[in-house]
Amino acid sequence: MALRIFRLVAILCFPILLAACGQQSPPAGPSKKVVVASEASFPPMEFVEDSGAIVGFDIDLIKVVAAAADVELEIKNVAWDGIFGALKSGTADVIASSVTITDERKGQFDFSTPYLRAGQVILVRTADKGAFPDLASLKGKRVGVQISTTGAERMQKEPVELKQYNTAGLAVIDLINGNVDAVMIDRPVADYYAARKAEFAKKVVVAGEPYTTEQFGFVVRKGDAELLAKLNRGLEKVKDDGTLAKLEEKWFR
């Protein structure tokens, strides 16, 4: 009798066990990659090398920050005039592209803790090294800037003939060709063109000290607290273990 009862219970319970098995959650798939937008025409911060790879200080930094925070990345080259739109639309999740932290931008996006301090400087032809010691000396002159940058914003306050370009490199080319008298640009980029980029070195020089003090940060959509926390955690790790200092030495010295 006991055996019959056991068999009956087993028969009755078998469909229930099958149903329970069918309700188990499927194995988790691979985690979604975080898409990073970077305007790769701003050496040494971010640029495309001969192999086609996107490289630079910001690229190295976002990679080590992501690794420290256990985040998988996909890096995309996005034009500067569309980079914030890509973030808003969801095409990108993070901007890693030498973005200055400003109150206006903070009203629309969230920023990581700052990772680099920089400033806007004037780049001139080597022959004009002593001609423009300050902004006042640029009065009435043709000054090139990249569109929608803090350099463009700063020079709009000055009595100059402002010429705006889609990339910083185009502005520097026009400087060498004599189409503008000066270019306002971030100090690390100005130093790179003046000293390390072969086709520009010795043709251009930084005139004077920075006219602004700025801090760069990674950018995420407003309210994306989870991703922001991961980036900040990764930044803290690479600052503490000396990785950030090593990257500065690699790209700026």
Domain residue ranges of the chain, discontinuous segments joined by +:
34-117+215-252, 120-212
204 pLDDT tier (thresholds 50, 70, 90): very high
Give, in order, the Cα–Cα distances in Å from 1 to each of 5, 7, 8, 116: 6, 10, 11, 81
Q: Are 142 and 181 in contact (CB under 8 A)?
A: yes
Please give the residue that has the higher pLDDT: either 31 or 65: 65
Residue 48 has a pLDDT of 97
Give the global pTM: 0.84
What single string gives the DSSP state of each residue in 95-152? E-S-PBP-HHHHTTEEEPSP-EEE-EEEEEEGGGTTT-SSGGGGTT-EEEEETTSHHH
CATH class, 120-212 region: alpha beta
127 pLDDT tier (thresholds 50, 70, 90): very high
- High-pLDDT (> 70) share of the chain, %: 88
Looking at residue 159, what DSSP letter applies? S
- High-pLDDT (> 90) share of the chain, %: 83
The structure tokens listed for 92 are 């990108």
Overall size of the chain counted in residues: 253
Q: Does domain 34-117+215-252 have CATH number 3.40.190.10?
A: yes
Render pLDDT for 8-63 as a digit per residue (tens, 0 to 9).
334 444 444 334 444 444 444 446 799 999 999 999 999 999 999 999 999 999 99
